[in-house]
Amino acid sequence: MTTTEQPSDRPPGWDWRHEGSCRGTDTDMFFSPDDREQRTARARRERRAKQICADCPVLSECRTHALTAAEHYGIWGGMSETERARLGRRHIHRDTTSR
């Protein structure tokens, strides 16, 4: 890309992740540093990450990716792994009860 190109000049299919509000931030905010993270520290970290996601221009693309790719870890699209798992279980439950 030349220095005069704007994001709208990029070809279709350009990677949406380059437009994320999280780009350039410390990934530790979005992913648990280890399995021993205390509940209050985790809640605080996740809250900060979700604040960044709240006004993200590619929030829906990020969330769709996380759900489609079954991302098991981290905050994606403003959702934690627990929230994504719950959503997946509800979706599966709905599919099996509608038959």
* Whole-number pLDDT of residue 98: 56
How far apart, in Å, are the Cα atoms of 22 and each of 33, 44, 45, 80, 92?
17, 17, 14, 15, 30
* Whole-number pLDDT of residue 89: 63
Q: What digits encode the pLDDT tens for the residues 46-97? A: 999 999 999 999 999 999 989 988 899 999 999 999 999 998 766 554 544 5
Q: What digits encode the pLDDT tens for the residues 4-38? A: 444 555 445 558 889 999 999 999 999 988 778 89
How far apart, in Å, are the Cα atoms of 99 and each of 25, 85, 87, 89?
45, 22, 19, 16
Where is 53: in which H helix or E strand?
helix 39-54
Q: Is 53 annotated as a binding residue?
A: yes
Report CA 25 to chain centroid distance, whole Å.
13
d(CA 23, CA 19): 7
Q: Which of 53, 71, 74, 51 is nearest to 88 (CA)?
A: 71
Q: Is 83 annotated as a binding residue?
A: no
Q: Is 22 annotated as a binding residue?
A: yes
Q: Is 56 annotated as a binding residue?
A: yes
